[in-house]
Structure 1
């Protein structure tokens, strides 16, 4: 019984020391703050394109995704991240709530700036893709 108590005490003591060393070490705390700040800054400076859609998609829905991907790659290479999100399969995705998405939606986001290009996308993706591409470029360029 004494051995068990001693083992528990030693385990508890080493855990406290370990936690204290990580928590109170100024260099570790500074490094952690720098990493957090860098990722927060990246989120604020990176432009992202989100396309929310349903499982069953019409030709226009598919064209919106295709033309958007093409435009982003053509104009920005890998600089602007594109994410296609199936609202039905990924119904718990926090972006749905964050951007109050309930239907097919194309958003361009940089930090707190959010541009909804859904109407332009659905009006032009199939019949005038160059118009959608131009709108995407103008929107993203205005955010940079």
Structure 2
């Protein structure tokens, strides 16, 4: 009986984790692989922010994109390129393989340097956006 209870608890826990990893509705800007390649070429060797997401996104996923865009605009104007990439709609995007992306991911890239800010973004974009903006700024400043 204890084993059955433990198995049910584990199954329930796995279900909750799986459901929380899925994201909800949103309207998404669509970018093709060609548009991403052109954007990469246009920005040259400068710092870039890539936000990879699913087609359906929850409010936290949307907040990560919104707060990242706000912070980049506030601190850098148009000096830091931002690309939001729907990895389901644009599954052939070469950046997915290049950066080994398979889930919601926020990367700051400058040349060969890559910083993954996904955890900071998802922990703070909704609840403490100023903290996340400060982390984003310090990361980009350290990569220039």
TM-score w.r.t. structure 2 length?
A: 0.70
In structure 2, the gaps of 5 or more residues are 1-39
User: Superposition pairs for residues 80-119 of structure 1, below 5 Å?
Assistant: 80-119=80-119
Secondary structure class of the residue paired with 2:44: helix
Counterpart for residue 43 of structure 1: 44
Aligned-pair distance for 1:54? 0.2
Q: In 2, distance between residues paired with 1:91 and 1:74? A: 31
Measured in 1, the distance between the counterparts of 2:124 and 2:63 equals: 9
1:127 aligns with 2:127: yes
Q: Partner of 1:114: helix, strand, or coil?
A: strand
Which residue pairs with 2:68 in the alignment? 68
2:102 and 2:134 mapped to 1: Cα distance? 26
Alignment match, 2:143: 143
For residues 40-92 of structure 1, give each alpha carbon's deviation from its aligned partner in whole angstroms, at most 9, with x where no partner exists: 8x633x00000000000000000000000000000000000000000000000
Higher relative helix content: 1
TM-score (norm 1): 0.70
Kept in 2, the 8 Å contact 1:47–1:81? The answer is yes
Unaligned runs of 5+ in 1: 1-38
Give the 3-state SS of the residue equivalent to 2:84 in structure 1: strand
The CA distance in 2 between the partners of 1:129 and 1:77, in whole Å, is: 18
Divergent runs of 4+, >6 A: none
**Matched residue pairs, number?**
104
State the distance in 1 between where 2:142 and 2:89 align.
33
Write the distance in 2 (CA, Å) between the matches of 1:92 and 1:43.
22
Q: Distance in 1 between matches of 2:112 and 2:44?
A: 10
CA RMSD for the aligned pairs?
1.4
Report deviation, 1:100.
Answer: 0.1
